[in-house]
């Protein structure tokens, strides 16, 4: 990828830490008593919400059965464990994603994980996120500018169809000089579920394509051949760069159009 790189994608994940933060004077110093009080308050609020949702689902049980959705009774102990697991995950995530300069200003990362912080910390996190967002948007604008500059040299039909954000690659099959990617497009914004690269050459592939989630794509033309750059994410949340060149590419929809269109 030349624009939507791994580094760019990681930056995208660091633009919203500040949105749910609330100023709290107690966050200035480490206090086990305050943390326990805050944790229990947030837990009880979450449990009440979950119980309310379960009650609504129970009342709509007949509708749920018709939609093949089974009603799951409210289990308080299980929900308490679920809340705790989510809290630990979020805490470790913040430790990995926030810069050390900000982490050093946080008296208790547990309190911060529950969205309470001092004004100084909130300002620092807000500035950090806004700077990241500016960088993210700059890359998007650069890519749009590039597409405008090369629009006359790229086949519009190929560029318009080669967009599979939020699709999943279910399988990749090689047949002679063709590579076929089968897609689950249920989460995407396309009806295409099969892409075939003819007379292909894999330039870069960092991991298995199967079961990977399609994030972003870029299309280039190099020496009269199309070059397709794709950023994928595997089941372990690892990012994969996939670059392939081909003389031709075809798109197929088996579920809706039942048509094969070769470009």
User: Which are the contacts of 146, defined by CB distance < 8 A and separation ≥ 6?
Assistant: 3
Cα(103)–Cα(239) distance, integer angstroms:
25
Global pTM value: 0.85
Cα(183)–Cα(170) distance, integer angstroms:
6
Tokens standing for residue 2: 């030349």
**Ranges of the chain whose pLDDT falls below 50:** 62-63, 256-263
Q: Let me know if 149 is exposed, middle or buried by CB neighbors in 10 A (0-12, 13-18, 19+).
A: exposed
Q: What is the pLDDT of residues 200-221, one digit of tens each?
A: 999 999 999 999 999 999 999 9
Q: What is the pLDDT of residues 171-180, one digit of tens each?
A: 999 998 999 9
pLDDT the model gives residue 59: 80
pLDDT the model gives residue 61: 62
| Residue ranges of domains in the chain | 6-134, 156-262
pLDDT the model gives residue 69: 58
């Amino acid at each position: 990828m030349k624009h939507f790189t791994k580094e760019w994608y990681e930056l995208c994940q660091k633009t919203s830490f500040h949105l749910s933060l609330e100023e709290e004077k107690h966050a200035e110093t480490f206090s086990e008593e305050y943390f326990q009080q805050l944790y229990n308050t947030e837990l009880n609020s979450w449990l009440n919400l979950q119980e309310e949702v379960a009650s609504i689902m129970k009342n709509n049980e007949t509708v749920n059965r018709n939609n093949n959705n089974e009603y799951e009774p409210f289990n308080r102990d299980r929900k308490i464990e679920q809340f705790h697991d989510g809290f630990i995950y979020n805490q470790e995530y913040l430790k990995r994603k926030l810069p050390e300069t900000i982490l050093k200003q946080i008296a208790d990362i547990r309190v911060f994980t529950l969205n309470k912080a001092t004004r100084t910390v909130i300002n620092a996190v807000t500035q950090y996120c806004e700077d990241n967002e500016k960088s993210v948007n700059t890359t998007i604008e650069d890519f749009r500018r590039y597409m405008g500059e090369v629009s006359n040299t790229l086949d519009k039909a190929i560029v318009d169809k080669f967009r599979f954000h939020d699709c999943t690659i279910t399988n990749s099959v090689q047949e002679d000089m063709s590579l076929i990617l089968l897609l689950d497009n249920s989460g995407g914004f396309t009806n295409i579920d099969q892409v075939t690269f003819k007379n292909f050459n894999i330039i870069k592939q960092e991991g298995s394509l199967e079961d990977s989630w399609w994030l972003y794509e870029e299309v280039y033309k190099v020496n009269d051949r199309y070059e397709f750059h794709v950023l994928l994410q595997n089941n372990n949340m690892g990012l994969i760069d996939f670059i392939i060149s081909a003389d031709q590419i075809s798109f197929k929809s088996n579920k809706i159009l039942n048509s094969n269109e070769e470009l």
